[in-house]
Amino acid sequence: MKAHRFVANGLALNCLDYGGDGKPPILFLHGGSAHAHWWDFVAPAFVGAFHVLALDQRGHGESDWANEWAYGSRHYVSDLDRVIDGWGFGAPILVGHSMGAHNVLAYAAEHSEKLRAMVAIDPPPDYPERALEFLQSIAEKPARRFQSLDEAARNFRVLPRETLAKKEILDHVARRSFKQHADGRWTHKLDRRTMIREPSRVWKSLHRIACPALIVKIAKSPLLDRELTKKMVEQLANGRLVEIDDSYHHVMLDNPGALIEIIRVFVDGLK
């Protein structure tokens, strides 16, 4: 696997490249507090048909942090627009999970013509005020520091906490989630200010998404009500809905096989 460094709005953004040079691009976006390697158990399945990439969004993974707070949906969307306009790979299928799915919806509402299609997995169309307050309360706490990567990995937790992920999958993600400082201690790579959210109000813009769009509801996830999800899809010009049963919110970790299958069916239908 190789990586690209794309510069967008003055920040260097890290992008994993799983292979497939010269094929149509598919770009994966992680959720909040995550990073591109969360897709390591899903993205490689598409290399045969696509040029497969996964972006560390600003403030996450190996990408730069903003000097001053700049982690609203508008900032992520602007980064995406600059990356896609400048990368030379053509119009992608854009796939996002959670916060990444919200960013996919926000981007598609503004730039649908630049996408071949989009997939939003357990997407919050709008963030409840209580969720914004909860995330800000986490942002205000100092990052935990660990004496070793082993200790950091043992203390790694997903949020929401519920998961069906195998231990080896969680360990794989955990060991790519921390960085070592000059004093030898380890902290999460995340800029905690990313949890101070300023989300777009996507609900009123869904009707502007003209490209083929797949919404994925995760049955065990509390983020999206079934009826609300159906109403979301009804707003889309070319939308469809699927549900995955055996997973909590973090489906790429809990049930990567099922997610691969539903994305594959969707993208095969685009041909």
Q: Is residue 52 situated within a structural domain?
A: yes
Average pLDDT over every residue of 242-256: 97
Identify the domain containing residue 28 by its residue range. Answer: 2-128+199-268
Least confident of 116-120, 194-198, 200-204: 200-204
pLDDT in tens, 174-184: 999 999 999 99
pLDDT-derived band at 51 (thresholds 50, 70, 90) equals very high
Q: Is residue 258 situated within a structural domain?
A: yes
What span, in angstroms and rounded, lies between the C-alpha atoms of 16 and 114?
21
pLDDT in tens, 149-170: 999 999 999 999 999 999 999 9
Q: How far is CA 213 from CA 62, 160, 256, 270, in A?
A: 29, 25, 20, 11
Q: Is residue 161 situated within a structural domain?
A: no
- Does the pLDDT of residue 271 top 90, yes or no? no
Q: What is the DSSP string of 104-152?
A: HHHHHHHHGGG-SEEEEES--SS--HHHHHHHHHHHTSPPP-BSSHHHH
Q: Is residue 240 situated within a structural domain?
A: yes
Q: Is residue 133 situated within a structural domain?
A: no
What is residue 211's predicted lDDT score, i.e. its pLDDT?
98
User: In terms of C-beta density within 10 A (0-12 exposed, 13-18 middle, 19 or more buried), how is residue 114 classed?
Assistant: middle
Q: Is residue 181 situated within a structural domain?
A: no
Q: Is residue 185 situated within a structural domain?
A: no
Q: What's the total number of domains in the chain? A: 1
Instruction: Tell me the whole-structure pTM to 2 decimals.
Output: 0.97
What is residue 180's predicted lDDT score, i.e. its pLDDT?
98
Q: Is residue 135 situated within a structural domain?
A: no
